Amino acid sequence: MTLMDTRVDDSYPTRITGTPAHLPRVHPTVWGTEADGPIDAATLANHETKGYTVVEDMLSVGEVQTYWQELVRLSSDRELAGDERVITEAKTGEVRSIFDVHEISDLIAELVRDPRVLDRARQLLGSDVYIHQSRVNYMPGFKGTGFYWHSDFETWHAEDGMPSPRAVSCSIALTDNYPFNGGLMIMPGSHRTFVQCAGETPDQNYKSSLKDQRVGVPSEDDITKMAAEHGIDQFTGQAGSALWFDSNIMHGSGNNITPYPRSNIFLVFNSVENALDQPFAASSPRPAFIAGRDSTPISR
């Protein structure tokens, strides 16, 4: 299929000229059933409605400490300094994110295959899965900058060629998430609406967007309308908790000006039946360390 053909068949057109619209989602959120994994029917139904699920204490206290030490090791690894997978803060130069982390860290590679993680991903997506993107996020005290309101799927669709929002993210907290240290905010139910964005995608947009996203974000008017319709929830809780959220849900976070850091492991699972095609609104795909193109199913 050519790039032009892909765009003709596009169910979620974006990066448009003119006034962006709110389009109804045409795909399910939950693809599996209670029989397919550890999530019960009531929780699956709630996930379908709200677009997210919180799993308390998914990791033990000891596991949290082990993974936290791994994040510290990665951020101070001199061999990674200058690696394109390491994203630094635009103002301070401190490490903001490390991508492709399941390929860098044996510990996180094991976590990807952990039944507590993998079985939930398979159940929600109703199929075998692979890693679309993995990273660790660092939000240090006083200096941590947030992420503006956005839908991940809008970017993954436009710049990576993800056909449908049959993907789910798992954010595992390695520090306590308070209401005041830059915790993730989510608009429950917003995943059922695809919000178009205006403007063309610059070449190699990822080099700036991973530090400060300017293209592929909704307008303030769109955010106001979505917030009025759906409200805003915030992910708070102890280290070791996990937030599972749909790829199309509207979310963002504020800056962290408190002394309390907020760091997490971020894993994105995509269905093997939703493998990437050519980008729908970009001249070329983003690198594989941001958007994996090997759709080989994860096995234990």
Residue 253: its H or E element: strand 250-253
The pLDDT tens digits for 156-189 are 999 999 999 999 999 999 999 999 998 999 999 9
The pLDDT tens digits for 79-131 are 888 888 998 877 777 788 999 999 999 999 999 999 999 999 999 999 999 99
d(CA 62, CA 260): 20
The CA distances from residue 123 to 44, 77, 118, in Å, are 9, 36, 9
Cβ contact 14:154 at 8 Å: yes
Average pLDDT over residues 209-234: 87
Q: What is the DSSP code string of 178-200?
A: -TTTT--EE-TTGGGEEE--BSP
Burial letters 213-222, b for 16+ CB under 10 A, else e: bebbbbeeeb
Asked if residue 265 has pLDDT above 90, the reply is yes
